[in-house]
Each structure stands twice: as structure tokens, then as C-alpha cells.
Amino acid sequence: LQGSVTGLRVTQTTGQPGSEPTITLRGGASINGGSDGALIVVDGIIRESLGDINPADIESIQVLKDAASTAIYGARANGGVILVQTKGGKSGKATVNYKGKLGMNFARLGYDMLDAHDYIYYNRLGYQRYANVSGANKLENQTGYGTNSNLCDVKFLDDTNKNLLSKGWLQMKDPVTGKDLIYKDYNGELDDASFRDVSLTQDHYVSVAGGSDRGTFFTSLGYYDEDGMVRGTGYQRFNGSVNASYKVLPILNVKAGATYSWAKKPKLWIGEYEFFYRTRSQRPTWNPYLEDGSPAPGWSTSDGNPDYYRPRLTRENCTRKSTYNLGWDLDIIPKKLTWSANASLYHYDYQNEKFDKSFQPQTSNVPNNVRTAVAEISRFSNVQINTTLNYKDTFAENHNVDAMIGGEYFDHNTFDFSAETQNSPTDDIPTLNAGATRSKTYSYKSRYRIESLFGRINYDYQQKYLLSFTARYDGISKLKDNRWGFFPGVSAGWNVTQEEWWKNSKISNIITNIKPRISYGVNGNVNGIDDFAIYGVYKQIGAKTYNGQTAYYNSTLLNTGLRWEQRRSLEIGLDLGFLNNRLAFILDYYNRTTDDLLTNLNLPAYTGFMSMKTNLGKLRNTGFEMEIRANILNNPKGFKW
């Protein structure tokens, strides 16, 4: 999508394989962070991301940006909509397809870090100048460039250690004392323990499709594996999908499908930011390996050789996502009136496990045997049921009408669980049950529901004059006094080149498409409101208990008058085509205003509350977009830009 759709921004915050970017359309429409993201709809099922979709399964992608087209999706389309249609079976002979891909990622050149000589020289000189100002006189106790450190190889040259010069040590003049220093340079030796010079990627996909006049089927399997440039990281994903349709009766078509994905994305024992700056800026006078050649633990879990801590501080996780859907299309009046219905379940399951085996930093005389074990589970499920009645007909030969009315029920349930134990007796049992101390237990449940009515009417006259009306009426359990919101949209267009007077003009051979258009619509948003905020939110006191009982308090000032954020968008556009549309321009100006922004209002301390959620403020977003398409040779094999 990046670079192929005007006004669409893909933000990647990390280079870790399997990380999912944020997709924002037209700069966002809210101040509530994640609520700016586009709504992802795959085969009519709402998903939280595109990360579990195998690209080889995708048939087409459509991006909806203007409010007139997104209004039909109501409350969740405040940040635009990305519609994904996956492949399905076709009547005819069964076909089997396989696609494979192998690749390599090469590490970019790192920073040119100071070697041990320059590191010692500038640090000792700098500390001496600092000491002259502050009165400090502890140069030789400074880790890395002082001579009293047991972990770093820096010493004053004397008769007892001059033999080290024959063992790879180097000699330099001390800029502070003028004496001779000897040191060992380990600059860059952590690179191989931290990063891969080349990481491999493999992608395999196989699909089987077929069908007859009565029914069709499609099934696929995919496997993706990518090594991370950071050792110990990577991404593995397995995908499976199946869908089928069958005409039970000439007027009744039943369809069903299921998808499943499993993914593993190993994590580090410290944050990515800390890992990079700790390993890239490690003291070059510290030997990352012990005398026997084994990795050295260093000062702590963040200041040591990653090869030492990687097998001891284990991190494992996996994510499972599955969808199931069943529906039908019933032709009440063939080719005119159709009743469609669909029910779907989307289930998300994330499992994360951590275990710290016994480890001992070089600065400690005893090992750390706390052996913390953590298990975390996060689950949610979406139940989505919708039904529509579609009518399509032509009146008086020239008037075309396509009308639809429908309803939807959406139910979201969340469950999170985590537990932690400590003081396991052995490294061999990484589960919670071996821990002698139960240090933490936590669980969380939440739920919200949306009920909706929606409709759309499309009208055109000889494909010249185009008019569309959409409307959606949403009610959500996150609100109370203003639970229901109405979100309309209207758009109009004029195909000038369909006019007879234009077709008869000489310029029609040059300008082959002129379509001015205008649209206006309203979307709603409540993503800044917690599921149960309007009913009262409670927290435990800092001490957890009071007089032997669980103690909690009302932590949030209740505001049952919260309203929907209202995003009102006006768009004016023009489509131009030249030379049989070999050269095309798509021009758009939009003006989008979001009213009643959901935000936290700071309160005076004497109220007993720090803040209160309220509707306050306005956000305006305007822009101009231009898209150019060129097919110079105007044939399927021609050059396209």
C-alpha cells in the first residue's frame, strides 16, 4: 500500500521481523492515538491488522478515504477503511498452484566507533578536565578507562605486566600522567554475538481451487520464515484458509469459510532501544569472552555478552488468529432483489512466557537464583452478524437505481491473564508451578457491543449523472446518555464525456475523461473511551489491602454525558483522462473537521480526581492530493508509470 495510495501513510516503528506498522489515511482524525488507524475489513470481517493475512491470498484491496463512502461503516471508520477481498474458487477444472521465494537481508554498515586507544585517550583527558573543575580525583576508578577496573584491560606498564605486550596488548602514552599505559582492544568483538551479517527469508505458498456450476472451493497453505538481523529475533508464520460456496437451490447460494494463522516472534530480554545502544557502545577495553572462550556476563543483564544471557533469559510467544463465517444469498426477485446474511467469529489468542535461569554477573560473588517465571495470555473475540436487502433495477431505460438496507450486531469480548512466580529450585522447570513464591496474579475482562442500521442508495442517469446517499445509525455500549449516533453521507458526480455534445466535439479525441465530483459525510468515533468508563472505574489503593481486606476506591469522575466524536468531511475532486486515458490525473481537495474531541480534562486537586474524560475541542485537517497514472503504450505489455 505504501506509495501506491495518495494520502496513505505507513509508519514502521521497528525493524523487527513480523512487526506491524500503523496505517493512517489523510493525517488522522483524532487526538487519541490508535483511534487514527484505518479500519481493516477482510471479506466483510473486521480485523485488528493485516499482519496475519498471506499476501498471496489477496485478490484485491480497496481504500476508502472520503466520508461519503466510509459513512456506511459508521463508528469504526473514523480513520478510513481498507477493504480486502481474498481469492475464491471458480467453476472449471481444479488447479493447483505453488509459489516459493528465498531471500537474504544484509546488515547495513554500523557506526565507526572509537577504538580502545581513542576511547582511553579522550575519556582520561576529559575526566581530568572535569576533575579540575569539580575537585573529583577518581580517574583510576573509572570503569573502562581507569586502571583499577577488574573487568577492563587497562593498566600502567611495569615489570610485572610488560609480558602482556607479547600477548596482543598495546601500548600508549597516558595524556594525563605521561606514563605508559597498556591495554587490550576488543572493539567490534560483540558484533558477531549481537547481529547477523546475513539473515535468510523463505516464503512458501500452495493453493487448490476449482468448482462447477453448482459450487466452488478454494483452499491454501502458506509458510513464512524470516531471521532477524538481531540474533535471537525473527518471525515465523503459518497460514491456512478454506472457503466454498454451493447453490442449494437456483435462488439460494450458501457460502462458508475459515482461516487460521499461527505466528511466533521471539523477543529480547531487554528493550530494543537498550539492546542497540548497550551493545554498540560497549567499552572497547572489556573482553566479552572469558579465558575459556565462553561468553562473559559483564556487569548486568544489559551490560554483557548477549550470547551469555540469550539462553538464560528465555522469551517465547505465539499468536493464533482464526475466523469462521457462514452466510447465504437468496434471490427473492432474480437479478433484482437479494437478501444476504452472514455470521462470523474472529478469535485472537496471544501467549507469552518468560523464564530467567540462574545467572551471575562478573561484579557479583554469588549467582542470581531468583528464577522469575511469567506466563501471560491475552484473548479477544469478535462476533459479527449482519444482514442486507439489496434492490437493483432500471426504470424508463435510463434511470438506474441500486438500493440497500441492512443491520449489524457486533460483540467484542476481551480476557487477559498473567501470573508470576519466583525462587524455582532448578533451571530445568520453566513453568509457574515450580516457583516457591507466588509474586503476582492478574486477570482482566471487558466487553462492548454495537448495534447498527444502515442503508445506501445509488442513482445514475445514463452513467452521466451520479448520485449516492448513505446513512448509518449506530448504538454502542460505551456511551450512556448519548448512546446513539447518526452518520449520513452524500456524493455526486458528472461524467462530462458521456454527454452527446462532448462526444461530437473535436477535443473529445484528446480529453477522454472528465468527471467532477463532490462528497460530504459524517463519521463517529468513541475509541478514546474505555469500555466501562461511563459506569464508574475503580482501582486498588497503593497498599492493596486495608485492615486485612481488599481496598479499592472510585478513581474516575463519572461523566455519562459523553458524546460521539463527529468527523465532518467535504471533498471536491476531478478525474481527467487524456489520449484514451493513457494519461490520467486524479485531483482531490478535502476539508475535514472533527468536533467534540474526546480528551482528558485536568481537574483541580481539591476535587479528589486528577482528570475527567470529556468532549472538548476541535481538530481540522485539510489537504490536496494528486495522483498521476500513465500507460504510454496502452497495451498490457506496455510501459506503465
Span 248-305, pLDDT tens digits: 999 999 999 999 999 999 999 998 888 988 888 899 999 999 999 999 999 999 999 9
Q: Confidence band (pLDDT; 50, 70, 90) for 237?
A: very high
Read off φ and ψ for residue 18, nearest 5 degrees: 85, -5
Q: From CA 483, how far away is CA 497, in angstroms rounded?
A: 46
CA distance 628 to 610: 51
- Average pLDDT on 115-135 reads 91
Maximal CA-CA distance, the chain: 110
**Average pLDDT of span 445-469:** 95
Phi, psi of 369, deg, nearest 5: -110, 25
* Residue 369 vs residue 18, higher pLDDT: 369
pLDDT at 276: 87
Q: What is the mean pLDDT of residues 87-95?
A: 89
Determine the pLDDT at residue 26.
82
Q: Taking Cα atoms as reference points, which of 326, 439, 319 lies closest to residue 18?
A: 319
pLDDT for 641: 52
pLDDT in tens, 366-422: 999 999 999 999 999 999 999 999 999 999 889 999 999 999 999 999 999 999 999
Convert 433-463 to b/e letters by CB count within 10 Å (16 or more is b). Answer: ebbeeeeeeeeeeeebebbbbbbbbbebeee
Say how far apart CA 172 and CA 162 lie, in whole Å. 13
Lowest-confidence range among 61-75, 349-363, 581-595? 61-75
- Residue 630's closest CA among 562, 559, 576? 576
Q: Which of the four pLDDT bands, split at 50, 70 and 90, describes residue 435?
A: very high
The answer, yes or no, to whether residue 471 has pLDDT greater than 80, is: yes
Positive or negative CA dihedral for 133, 136, 137, 141?
negative
Residue 624 burial by CB count (10 A; 0-12/13-18/19+): exposed, middle or buried?
Answer: exposed
| Amino acid code (one letter) for 143 | T
Closest CA to 402 of 410, 411, 415, 392: 392
> Across the chain, what does the average pLDDT equal?
90
Instruction: Identify the weakest region by mean pLDDT among 98-112, 120-134, 391-405, 537-551.
Output: 537-551
Q: What is the mean pLDDT of residues 540-552?
A: 82
CB 538 within 8 A of CB 555: yes
Predicted pLDDT of residue 79 = 80
Local confidence band at 465 (pLDDT 50, 70, 90 cut-offs): very high
Return the C-alpha cell found at 551: 481496598
**Whether residue 341 has pLDDT greater than 90:** yes
Statement: residue 638 has pLDDT above 80:
no
How high is the pLDDT of residue 567? Answer: 87
pTM of this structure: 0.87
33, pLDDT greater than 60: no
Could you tell me the pLDDT band of residue 36, with boundaries at 50, 70 and 90? low
